[in-house]
Copies of this chain bind each other. A is one copy, B any other.
Amino acid sequence: MKSRIAVAILSTCGISLAFAGEPIQPIEAAVITEPGKVELGKKLFFEPRLSKSGFLSCNSCHNLALGGGDLLPTSIGHNWQQGPINAPTVLNAKYMLAQFWDGRAADLQEQAAGPIANPKEMALEHEVALDVLRSMPAYRAEFNAVYGDETISLDQVTDAIAKFEETLVTPDSRFDLWLKGDKQAITAYEQEGYELFKSSGCAGCHSGPAVGGTMYQKMGLREPFETDNPAQGRIDVTGKSYHRMVFKVPTLRNIDLTYPYFHDGSTYDLTEAVITMQKVQRGKDLPLEEAEKITAFLQTLTGKQPQIVMPILPPSNRNTPQPQPFVD
C-alpha cells in the first residue's frame, strides 16, 4: 500500500518507477554536499603515513583500481601478516546496514578507526597517526578549513574518510539501466538469469540497492559451509550462540570484480560461488546452465566505477614521526 502511494507520488513528479516491486533498486549517483571533507577524506584514504610502516593505506587493501578490494583470499597487513578474513569492497559500502562481515561497526565512520590501529593491518597507534597529520602544516590548514579546528581529532579523520567513502558508489550498471526502463540494456539470457535469481530465492537475502547489505544471515543455513577459516561471525558481537556463522549478507554489486568470494575467499569462480550458495543456503543442487545464467545476470551489476584523481599528499618534515617499516 505504502509503496503504491509512493509510486503514485513519484509518477506525479514525472519519475518512472519501472523497478517498483523489484527486490533490487538502482544505485544513485553520489551527491556531494561537502566537497572539502570528501577531498580531505580522499587524501587520508590514500595516506600510507597512517600506517606504522609508512607503506599501507586504505587503498592498499581497498584498491580503487580493482573494484575497491585487494583480490586476495585474505589481506596482507603490516609486516606481511596474513589477515583473518577476505577484504570486502568499499564500493557502495554506505548501503550496508553495518560495517564488517559481522557488523561490529555501526557505520563507515566507526569502521575507519579500526584498520589504522589494528596490529595486523596498518598497526599505527591512533595518537601517533594524529601526530603524523598534525606535523604537516598543509593538513592542519585543511582540517582547519573543513572542521574549523586545526588540532585534528580522530573523529575528524574518520568523518572525512567516511564522507569520501560515501561517494564511492557505482551507478548506471547495465542492470540499473534496465531497471530504469531501458529494455535493451541486458540480454534475454541475462534477464533469464535475473528471473532465476529471484525464483531460486537469492533475492530473499540479496536485495536492496546494493543487492545485499540489508540483513544478517547464517552461512550454511541448510548445509554446513566447509571452511578452514576460524571466523565465527556475529556471535563475536552478540555472544548469542544462534549467531554462530551468521554474517552480513554481502553486496553483489560489482561482484564480477570482487573475487575471491565468501568471507574466507575460498573461490575465485563466480559460478562456483553461485552453486555453493544454492547448496548451503537452500539445500539444492543448481544445474550448471542455471548457475551460468545467474552468473551472467550478476555480471550486469558492474556499475560505473568512481573516477578518482590521485591526491597529492603534503611532504613530511622534521616533526613528522618517522615510519618504522621493519619493526614488528
Contacts and interface: CB of A to CB of B under 8 A. Distances in A.
Contacts of A256: 315
Contact of A308 (B66, B72, B310): B310
B71 A269 contact: no
A283 interface: no
A84 interface: no
Interface string A39-64: 00000001011000111000010011
Contacts of A167: none
Interface stretch (A74-82, A121-129, A202-210, A227-235): A74-82
A66 B43 CA distance: 11
B46 A72 contact: no
Interface string A165-203: 000000000000000000000000000000000000000
Interface residues of A, number: 40
28 contacts: A48-B66, A48-B70, A48-B71, A53-B72, A53-B76, A55-B70, A55-B72, A60-B60, A64-B310, A65-B310, A65-B312, A65-B313, A67-B315, A71-B323, A72-B325, A73-B325, A76-B325, A79-B80, A80-B80, A82-B325, A256-B315, A257-B315, A259-B315, A259-B316, A305-B312, A307-B309, A308-B309, A309-B309
A242 interface: no
Nearest to A304: B312
B46 A65 contact: yes
Given A48-B63, A65-B310, A307-B309, 7 more contacts: A53-B76, A71-B323, A72-B323, A73-B325, A256-B315, A257-B315, A259-B315
Interface string A134-178: 000000000000000000000000000000000000000000000
Contacts of A305: 312
Contact of A55 (B49, B76, B259): B76
A318 interface: yes
A114 to B, nearest CB: 20
A268 B135 CA distance: 14
Interface in A226-253: none
Interface in A246-295: 256-257, 259, 268-269
A60 to B, nearest CB: 8
A192 to B, nearest CB: 22
Which one of A66, A82, A323 has the highest number of Cβ atoms from chain B below 10 Å of its Cβ? Answer: A66
A1 B76 CA distance: 59
A65 to B, nearest CB: 5
A316 B261 CA distance: 13
Contacts of A312: 65, 305
A256 B63 CA distance: 27
Nearest to A318: B269
B313 A66 contact: yes
Contact of A54 (B49, B67, B72): B72
Nearest to A254: B315
Nearest to A305: B312
A11 interface: no
